[in-house]
Chain A
Amino acid sequence: MTIRKPEDVVTPLDFSGMDQELLKTLFLRMVRAREFEEQLYYLFLTTKMPGTMHQATGQEAVAVGVASALNKDDYVTSNHRGHGHCIAKDVSLDLMMAEMFAKRNGACKGMGGSMHLCDFSKGMLGAFGIVGAGIPIATGAALSAQVRGTKQVAVSFFGDGAINEGVFHESLNMASLWKLPVIYVIENNQYALSMPNELVSAVTDYSSRGCSYNVPGERVDGNNVTAVYRAASRAVDRARKGEGPFLLECVTYRMRGHARFEPAEYRNKEEVELWSQYDPIKRFKEAAVEAGVLTEADLTAIEAQVDDEIEAAIAFAQAGEDVGPEDYKQFIYELDTTAKAGLK
């Protein structure tokens, strides 16, 4: 199967006009996302971590580049592969890790787990396990911002697989019609589970798929955090000015299997190795040092900080109480209508 050639997509990182603080933030968030998930992989292997998870290893620049162009009160919806989106939106690692362990002190009180992580205080409106489900929800958050007259924007992160759901098309049409401040981010990791782009999409130039709805789009190197950040910033500016939605395709590659230990035998080794050379974190480090915008010491300090944060998050999670058998009863309705609802 033809896979995208890196040379057709890859562009050099460009640090011009980006201050050190921003660069450090980009790197910090990418390393957090990477290490959080690598730690999860290990925890699934060695402990009784419940449920499942989908790693976005290799895709960190998309989540981080986009979310770093947002304000704290802007909205995000996410999908099944959503740890990085949460982390890029500054959801606490402690709360996320505790949720993974199904603890009462988790981000969703142990009720949602990996596929439903969210933190409304950070504008993170939810990860949805139903492919495509977050797309109209982000569009609705944008409508709400417009109605309420705030300058907030909404971002929906979803995969190349999700754009073949009807809700993608329905959402783009309404967003364009009503000039809603929403940015649709296609995280094109080139596969939807076992299916490469070409086998499921008649048009694989995804950023052009807004044309039927007059939604402008752009394709960027999704493993280049500065390129993603710049493109997202432009889209966000437009949206905030009331110029309507934007479709941003970020081409990247999923370095791990689809879920937990899925071996991804539908791709060949050469392809995985080829794309692994374009690891967004590695590229950032090399380019930043070469350009002299950050030093090795800066980067190492951030990596050490993340190691500590993750260790602390695991400790926080392990110290938490397990979800109790009847905890769920308080979360079905706002009011305690358990009796009326016929709960045991």
Chain B
Amino acid sequence: MRQLSLADAIREAMVQEMRRDSSVILMGEDVGRFNGAFHVSHGMLDEFGPTRVWDTPISEAGFMGMGIGAALTGLRPIIEFQYADFMFCAMDQIVNEAAKLRLMSGGQASVPLVMRAPQGATGRAAQHSQSVEAYFMHTPGLYLAMPSTPYDAKGLMISAIRSNDPVLILEHKLLYGAASPGGGKALTDQTISDIGSDVPEDAYTIPFGKADIKRAGTDVTIIATLIMVHRALAVAAELEKEGISCEVIDPRTLVPLDEETILESVKKTNRVVIASEDVARGGVGSELTALISRKAFDFLDAPVACVSTDNSPIPFGPAAEQHVVPQISDIRQAVYEVLKD
């Protein structure tokens, strides 16, 4: 089958939906003339013109709010934040408005809007490196999808566009692949496998709340998102040689969360590692640990191990960034830890 990079897969999803449904529009900084800071929207201004692809000023709160207004009145906007870090400039519109309108209006309002944002540490220091999922996982009213492969990216993106509730899609800069300026480095990152890069040409959806078992195993469950899926797979491949069988689960959407797949795996392996790039405190690892201890406590043979970013802003110096952000060795160590006795 045809292989696509993750950036290409997201673009194909947007383009196909925009062809199918004239209410879908794209807005964001440099998404048109410049093709997007990571070239995800390459060629879309040419195809759809400026009434469908809007190059906005640097006004995140403004265009996010406009996305909501447009969504309330018949359009299906896709809002690109150039970096996930800049979502904080639009936090009020996202958290207080987009997420709450359905409830506040007693069900009158629908906000069929997609936010897309690249995240993850790539040597750009504290304000261009954050992983923001925990802030939004904490916000009822939003869906949260995190594609780790091109296949997932396309299917989740199409589902997101067709959703009648606001969806945030977090993309990892290092996963975009060759076509993107952010992807050059990814090519040299041995840890990124080409798993899931076969992408059907026809449009397809991936239902929210359906995790994917990226690798089946019996000794330990590794739950991972975005680039950590690839790092977990690298660990699983290594440890297989030592006779350790890892199951790697990618929830794909954190909201809604496929508890069933996770709990089933835990009941089988009895040992769990959670790997995600957000900071530890109040993060994805803590949330999933709580779930597992509530619902599968009796099945655990060892405490759940969380591999996440240290509770620190991302420091600039490369050695410090590497230390703060989970690496393959951290995941491997955590697997040994949960298998200790």
Footprint of B on A, CB under 8 Å?
50-52, 99, 102, 108, 110-116, 128-132, 161-162, 164-166, 192-195, 199-201, 266, 322-329, 331-332, 341-344
Flag if A111 contacts B127 (CB, 8 Å): no
Flag if A328 contacts B58 (CB, 8 Å): no
Q: Any chain A CB within 8 A of the CB of B336? A: no
- Nearest residue, chain B, Cβ from A104: B317
Q: State the Cβ distance, B273 to closest chain A Cβ, in Å.
A: 15
Q: Which of B55-70 contact A (CB under 8 A)?
A: 55-62
**Interface size in chain B (residues, C-beta < 8 A):** 38
Q: State the Cβ distance, A146 to closest chain B Cβ, in Å.
A: 27
Flag if A110 contacts B316 (CB, 8 Å): yes
Q: State the Cβ distance, A81 to closest chain B Cβ, in Å.
A: 14
Q: Which residues of B contact A199 (CB under 8 A)?
A: 33, 55
Flag if A200 contacts B57 (CB, 8 Å): yes
Roughly how many angstroms separate A144 CA and B324 CA in the complex, as a whole number?
35
Q: Which residues of A contact B57 (CB under 8 A)?
A: 161, 164, 192, 195, 200-201
Roughly how many angstroms separate A327 CA and B318 CA in the complex, as a whole number?
11
- Nearest residue, chain A, Cβ from B315: A328
- SS class, residues of chain B in contact with chain A: loop
Flag if B316 contacts A112 (CB, 8 Å): yes
Flag if A112 contacts B86 (CB, 8 Å): no
Flag if A130 contacts B127 (CB, 8 Å): yes
Q: State the Cβ distance, A182 to closest chain B Cβ, in Å.
A: 21
Q: Which residues of A contact B55 (CB under 8 A)?
A: 194-195, 199-200
Q: Which residues of B contact A116 (CB under 8 A)?
A: 125-127, 316
Q: Which residues of A contact B127 (CB under 8 A)?
A: 115-116, 128-130
Roughly how many angstroms separate A51 CA and B127 CA in the complex, as a whole number?
12
Q: Any chain A CB within 8 A of the CB of B49? A: no
In the complex with contacts A102-B318, A115-B124, A325-B323 CB distance below 8 A: yes
Q: Which of B306-341 contact A (CB under 8 A)?
A: 310-313, 315-320, 322-324
Q: Which residues of B contact A52 (CB under 8 A)?
A: 123-124
Roughly how many angstroms separate A199 CA and B126 CA in the complex, as a whole number?
30
Interface string of B72-87 (1 = CB under 8 A from A): 0000000000000110
Roughly how many angstroms separate A52 CA and B86 CA in the complex, as a whole number?
18
Contact of B33 among A51, A195, A331 (CB under 8 A): A195
Contact of A113 among B58, B125, B310, B324 (CB under 8 A): B125
Q: Any chain A CB within 8 A of the CB of B30? A: yes
Roughly how many angstroms separate A204 CA and B29 CA in the complex, as a whole number?
18
Contact of A343 among B58, B312, B316 (CB under 8 A): B312
Flag if B58 contacts A342 (CB, 8 Å): no
Q: State the Cβ distance, B315 to closest chain A Cβ, in Å.
A: 4
Contact of B280 among A99, A164, A166, A342 (CB under 8 A): A342
Q: Which residues of A contact B312 (CB under 8 A)?
A: 328-329, 332, 343
Q: Any chain A CB within 8 A of the CB of B89? A: yes
Flag if A193 contacts B30 (CB, 8 Å): yes
Roughly how many angstroms separate A194 CA and B29 CA in the complex, as a whole number?
9
Q: Any chain A CB within 8 A of the CB of B135? A: no
Contact of A327 among B59, B125, B313, B315 (CB under 8 A): B315
Roughly how many angstroms separate A344 CA and B285 CA in the complex, as a whole number?
15
Q: Which residues of A contact B313 (CB under 8 A)?
A: 328, 332
Indicate the member of B58, B89, B124 with the most A CB atoms within 10 Å: B58
- Nearest residue, chain A, Cβ from B316: A113
Q: Any chain A CB within 8 A of the CB of B210? A: no
Flag if A131 contacts B317 (CB, 8 Å): no
In the complex with contacts A115-B124, A115-B128, A343-B319 CB distance below 8 A: no
Q: Which residues of B contact A266 (CB under 8 A)?
A: 33-34
Q: Any chain A CB within 8 A of the CB of B138? A: no
Q: Which residues of A contact B86 (CB under 8 A)?
A: 130-131
Flag if B29 contacts A323 (CB, 8 Å): no
Q: Which residues of B contact A326 (CB under 8 A)?
A: 320, 323
Flag if B316 contacts A102 (CB, 8 Å): yes
Q: Any chain A CB within 8 A of the CB of B19? A: no
Flag if A166 contacts B61 (CB, 8 Å): yes
Roughly how many angstroms separate A75 CA and B318 CA in the complex, as a whole number?
30
Flag if A194 contacts B316 (CB, 8 Å): no
State the 6 A-B residue pairs at the shortest beta-carbon distance, nearest first: A323-B317, A194-B34, A113-B316, A325-B323, A129-B127, A164-B57
Q: Which residues of A contact B295 (CB under 8 A)?
A: none
Q: State the Cβ distance, A203 to closest chain B Cβ, in Å.
A: 12
Q: State the Cβ distance, A49 to closest chain B Cβ, in Å.
A: 10
Flag if B317 contacts A200 (CB, 8 Å): no
* 25 CB-based A-B contacts, threshold 8 Å: A50-B123, A51-B124, A110-B317, A111-B316, A112-B125, A112-B126, A115-B125, A115-B128, A116-B127, A161-B58, A164-B58, A166-B59, A193-B37, A195-B30, A200-B58, A266-B33, A323-B315, A328-B312, A328-B317, A329-B312, A331-B315, A341-B311, A342-B281, A343-B310, A344-B310
Roughly how many angstroms separate A225 CA and B201 CA in the complex, as a whole number?
57
Q: Which residues of A contact B30 (CB under 8 A)?
A: 193-195
Contact of A50 among B56, B60, B310, B317 (CB under 8 A): B317
Roughly how many angstroms separate A116 CA and B129 CA in the complex, as a whole number?
13
Roughly how many angstroms separate A110 CA and B55 CA in the complex, as a whole number?
35
Q: Which residues of B contact A325 (CB under 8 A)?
A: 319-320, 322-323
Flag if A324 contacts B319 (CB, 8 Å): yes
In the complex with contacts A110-B320, A195-B33, A200-B55, A343-B311 CB distance below 8 A: yes
- Nearest residue, chain A, Cβ from B123: A51
Q: Which residues of A contact B281 (CB under 8 A)?
A: 341-342
Roughly how many angstroms separate A165 CA and B63 CA in the complex, as a whole number?
11
Q: State the Cβ distance, A257 to closest chain B Cβ, in Å.
A: 11
Given pairs A166-B61, A266-B34, A323-B320, 14 additional interface contacts (CB within 8 A)? A52-B123, A110-B317, A112-B125, A113-B124, A164-B59, A165-B61, A192-B58, A193-B29, A195-B29, A195-B34, A323-B317, A326-B323, A341-B281, A342-B281
Q: Which residues of B contact A131 (CB under 8 A)?
A: 58, 86
Roughly how many angstroms separate A194 CA and B86 CA in the complex, as a whole number?
18
Q: State the Cβ distance, B29 to closest chain A Cβ, in Å.
A: 7
Roughly how many angstroms separate A193 CA and B324 CA in the complex, as a whole number?
30
